[in-house]
Amino acid sequence: DARVTQTPRDKVTEMGQEVTMRCQPILGHNTVFWYRQTMMQGLELLAYFRNRAPLDDSGMPKDRFSAEMPDATLATLKIQPSEPRDSAVYFCASGFGLAGNTDTQYFGPGTRLTVL
């Protein structure tokens, strides 16, 4: 049963610290998405990659957030420095796509981030 995995599942940190979240997409999927879920804003798209190349990161605060795919099996989302308003659940999703389409997105369990 192929699944998207995310680590850590929970992270508590202090304001100003660096936070790195990791995602392992389903083997064979070439598209990776990062979403953020908060009570106020709901589910928001932060960034996405196709074949490891960033396609759009317009949903991310550029000054503190960065997303990368060092290889096809790992996507990372980094926040530096973290702020209390970054507290949220961060989801990674993967899917297979060609051209302008992506088939179904499969979501990981999320990383719950709390910034004190």
Chain residues that interact with other proteins, rule: CB under 8 A: 4, 31, 33, 42-43, 45, 48, 50, 55-56, 91, 93, 97, 100-102, 104-110
Q: 12 with 114: CB under 8 angstroms?
A: yes
CB of 18 to other proteins, least distance (A): 24
CB of 77 to other proteins, least distance (A): 15
Identity of the residue, 83 or 87, whose beta carbon is nearer to other proteins in the bound complex:
87
Distance set, CA 61 to CA 54, 64, 85, 108 (Å): 15, 6, 12, 22
CB of 57 to other proteins, least distance (A): 11
Q: 67 with 46: CB under 8 angstroms?
A: yes
